[in-house]
Protein backbone atom coordinates (compact mmCIF):
# COMPACT_ATOMS: atom_id res chain seq x y z
CA UNK A 1 0.00 0.00 0.00
CA UNK A 2 1.58 3.27 -1.10
CA UNK A 3 1.53 6.25 1.20
CA UNK A 4 -0.07 9.59 0.37
CA UNK A 5 2.44 12.43 0.17
CA UNK A 6 1.43 16.08 0.45
CA UNK A 7 3.76 19.09 0.27
CA UNK A 8 4.50 21.03 3.44
CA UNK A 9 2.06 23.90 4.14
CA UNK A 10 3.16 27.14 2.52
CA UNK A 11 4.68 29.76 4.82
CA UNK A 12 4.05 33.38 3.84
CA UNK A 13 7.45 34.86 4.67
CA UNK A 14 7.45 37.89 2.42
CA UNK A 15 7.22 41.56 3.30
CA UNK A 16 3.93 43.38 3.27
CA UNK A 17 3.18 44.91 -0.11
CA UNK A 18 3.70 48.66 0.02
CA UNK A 19 1.43 51.29 -1.46
CA UNK A 20 3.55 53.35 -3.84
CA UNK A 21 1.11 56.29 -3.73
CA UNK A 22 1.42 56.54 0.07
CA UNK A 23 5.22 56.43 -0.15
CA UNK A 24 5.27 59.26 -2.66
CA UNK A 25 2.80 61.33 -0.64
CA UNK A 26 4.99 61.01 2.45
CA UNK A 27 8.22 61.93 0.65
CA UNK A 28 6.79 64.80 -1.38
CA UNK A 29 8.39 68.20 -0.78
CA UNK A 30 6.60 71.54 -1.04
CA UNK A 31 8.20 72.19 -4.45
CA UNK A 32 7.05 68.82 -5.78
CA UNK A 33 3.51 69.41 -4.54
CA UNK A 34 3.56 72.88 -6.13
CA UNK A 35 4.80 71.56 -9.47
CA UNK A 36 2.12 68.83 -9.49
CA UNK A 37 -0.56 71.38 -8.65
CA UNK A 38 0.66 73.80 -11.34
CA UNK A 39 0.86 71.01 -13.91
CA UNK A 40 -2.67 69.88 -13.14
CA UNK A 41 -3.98 73.43 -13.60
CA UNK A 42 -1.88 74.34 -16.65
CA UNK A 43 -2.82 71.13 -18.43
CA UNK A 44 -6.55 71.82 -18.41
CA UNK A 45 -9.14 73.29 -20.76
CA UNK A 46 -10.06 75.82 -18.10
CA UNK A 47 -6.53 77.20 -18.17
CA UNK A 48 -6.58 77.45 -21.96
CA UNK A 49 -9.92 79.24 -21.85
CA UNK A 50 -8.76 81.74 -19.19
CA UNK A 51 -5.47 82.34 -20.99
CA UNK A 52 -7.32 82.92 -24.28
CA UNK A 53 -9.70 85.38 -22.64
CA UNK A 54 -6.78 87.32 -21.11
CA UNK A 55 -4.96 87.46 -24.45
CA UNK A 56 -8.07 88.63 -26.31
CA UNK A 57 -8.77 91.28 -23.63
CA UNK A 58 -5.18 92.48 -23.78
CA UNK A 59 -5.35 92.89 -27.55
CA UNK A 60 -8.80 94.53 -27.48
CA UNK A 61 -7.82 96.99 -24.75
CA UNK A 62 -4.71 97.99 -26.67
CA UNK A 63 -6.45 98.29 -30.03
CA UNK A 64 -9.37 100.35 -28.72
CA UNK A 65 -7.20 102.32 -26.27
CA UNK A 66 -9.77 102.19 -23.46
CA UNK A 67 -7.11 102.31 -20.77
CA UNK A 68 -4.11 103.99 -22.35
CA UNK A 69 -2.16 102.02 -24.95
CA UNK A 70 0.48 100.36 -22.81
CA UNK A 71 1.32 97.81 -25.54
CA UNK A 72 0.51 99.05 -29.07
CA UNK A 73 0.46 96.77 -32.08
CA UNK A 74 2.52 94.43 -32.68
CA UNK A 75 2.15 93.77 -28.91
CA UNK A 76 5.83 93.39 -28.00
CA UNK A 77 5.10 93.53 -24.26
CA UNK A 78 2.46 90.76 -24.61
CA UNK A 79 5.01 88.66 -26.45
CA UNK A 80 7.51 89.21 -23.60
CA UNK A 81 4.95 88.29 -20.91
CA UNK A 82 3.85 85.13 -22.74
CA UNK A 83 7.48 84.12 -23.36
CA UNK A 84 8.40 84.63 -19.70
CA UNK A 85 5.38 82.64 -18.62
CA UNK A 86 6.32 79.81 -21.01
CA UNK A 87 9.96 79.84 -19.87
CA UNK A 88 8.84 79.19 -16.27
CA UNK A 89 6.01 76.82 -17.13
CA UNK A 90 8.11 74.33 -19.09
CA UNK A 91 10.56 73.54 -16.25
CA UNK A 92 7.72 73.21 -13.74
CA UNK A 93 5.97 70.71 -16.02
CA UNK A 94 9.25 68.83 -16.52
CA UNK A 95 9.78 68.59 -12.74
CA UNK A 96 6.33 67.07 -12.36
CA UNK A 97 6.93 64.66 -15.24
CA UNK A 98 10.29 63.57 -13.81
CA UNK A 99 8.63 62.86 -10.48
CA UNK A 100 5.86 60.90 -12.21
CA UNK A 101 8.50 58.90 -14.10
CA UNK A 102 10.25 58.05 -10.82
CA UNK A 103 6.90 56.99 -9.38
CA UNK A 104 6.20 54.83 -12.44
CA UNK A 105 9.60 53.12 -12.06
CA UNK A 106 8.85 52.40 -8.40
CA UNK A 107 5.41 51.05 -9.32
CA UNK A 108 6.96 48.81 -11.99
CA UNK A 109 9.47 47.44 -9.46
CA UNK A 110 6.66 46.89 -6.94
CA UNK A 111 4.59 45.07 -9.59
CA UNK A 112 7.58 42.88 -10.41
CA UNK A 113 8.03 41.89 -6.75
CA UNK A 114 4.31 41.15 -6.40
CA UNK A 115 4.44 39.02 -9.54
CA UNK A 116 7.38 37.04 -8.11
CA UNK A 117 5.43 36.39 -4.90
CA UNK A 118 2.33 35.41 -6.84
CA UNK A 119 4.34 33.05 -9.04
CA UNK A 120 5.79 31.33 -5.98
CA UNK A 121 2.35 30.95 -4.37
CA UNK A 122 0.84 29.65 -7.62
CA UNK A 123 3.64 27.07 -7.86
CA UNK A 124 2.85 25.88 -4.32
CA UNK A 125 -0.88 25.72 -5.10
CA UNK A 126 -0.19 23.66 -8.25
CA UNK A 127 2.03 21.26 -6.29
CA UNK A 128 -0.72 20.87 -3.71
CA UNK A 129 -3.33 20.25 -6.44
CA UNK A 130 -1.08 17.64 -8.03
CA UNK A 131 -0.73 15.87 -4.67
CA UNK A 132 -4.51 15.96 -4.24
CA UNK A 133 -5.01 14.56 -7.74
CA UNK A 134 -2.59 11.73 -6.95
CA UNK A 135 -4.43 11.02 -3.68
CA UNK A 136 -7.81 11.01 -5.44
CA UNK A 137 -6.43 8.64 -8.09
CA UNK A 138 -5.11 6.27 -5.40
CA UNK A 139 -8.45 6.33 -3.57
CA UNK A 140 -10.29 5.69 -6.84
CA UNK A 141 -8.03 2.76 -7.69
CA UNK A 142 -8.56 1.22 -4.24
CA UNK A 143 -12.33 1.67 -4.46
CA UNK A 144 -12.34 0.12 -7.93
CA UNK A 145 -10.35 -2.85 -6.63
CA UNK A 146 -12.83 -3.32 -3.78
CA UNK A 147 -15.80 -3.00 -6.11
CA UNK A 148 -14.74 -5.80 -8.52
CA UNK A 149 -15.12 -8.71 -6.04
CA UNK A 150 -18.48 -7.35 -4.86
CA UNK A 151 -19.92 -7.15 -8.39
CA UNK A 152 -18.73 -10.73 -9.13
CA UNK A 153 -20.56 -12.09 -6.03
CA UNK A 154 -23.78 -10.22 -6.81
CA UNK A 155 -24.00 -11.15 -10.47
CA UNK A 156 -27.36 -12.81 -11.30
CA UNK A 157 -26.84 -15.27 -14.15
The domain total for the chain is 1
pLDDT at 139 over 70: yes
Of 55, 127, 115, 111, the C-alpha closest to 85 is 55
- With respect to residue 150, please indicate whether it lies within any of the assigned structural domains: yes
pLDDT at 71 over 70: yes
**How far is Cα 31 from Cα 96, in angstroms, rounded to an integer?**
10
Query: What per-residue confidence (pLDDT) applies to 11?
Result: 76
| CA geometry: angle 6, 11, 13, nearest 5 deg | 155
- With respect to residue 68, please indicate whether it lies within any of the assigned structural domains: yes
- With respect to residue 48, please indicate whether it lies within any of the assigned structural domains: yes
> Residue 83 burial by CB count (10 A; 0-12/13-18/19+): exposed, middle or buried?
exposed
pLDDT band at 154 (very low <50, low <70, confident <90, very high): low
74 lies in which domain range? 30-154
Query: What per-residue confidence (pLDDT) applies to 153?
Result: 62
- With respect to residue 10, please indicate whether it lies within any of the assigned structural domains: no
- With respect to residue 25, please indicate whether it lies within any of the assigned structural domains: no
- With respect to residue 70, please indicate whether it lies within any of the assigned structural domains: yes
pTM: 0.61
**How far is Cα 40 from Cα 96, in angstroms, rounded to an integer?**
9
- With respect to residue 109, please indicate whether it lies within any of the assigned structural domains: yes
List C-alpha distances in Å: 67 to 57, 58, 74, 78.
12, 10, 17, 15
**How far is Cα 27 from Cα 36, in angstroms, rounded to an integer?**
14
- With respect to residue 13, please indicate whether it lies within any of the assigned structural domains: no
Residues of the chain with pLDDT > 90: what percent?
34
Answer whether 107's CB lies under 8 Å from 20's CB: yes
pLDDT at 94 over 60: yes
Amino acid sequence: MSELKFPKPYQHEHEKVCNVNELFEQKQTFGEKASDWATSKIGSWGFIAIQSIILVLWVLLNITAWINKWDPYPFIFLNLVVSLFASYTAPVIMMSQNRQDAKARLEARNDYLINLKAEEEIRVILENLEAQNNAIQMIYNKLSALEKPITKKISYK
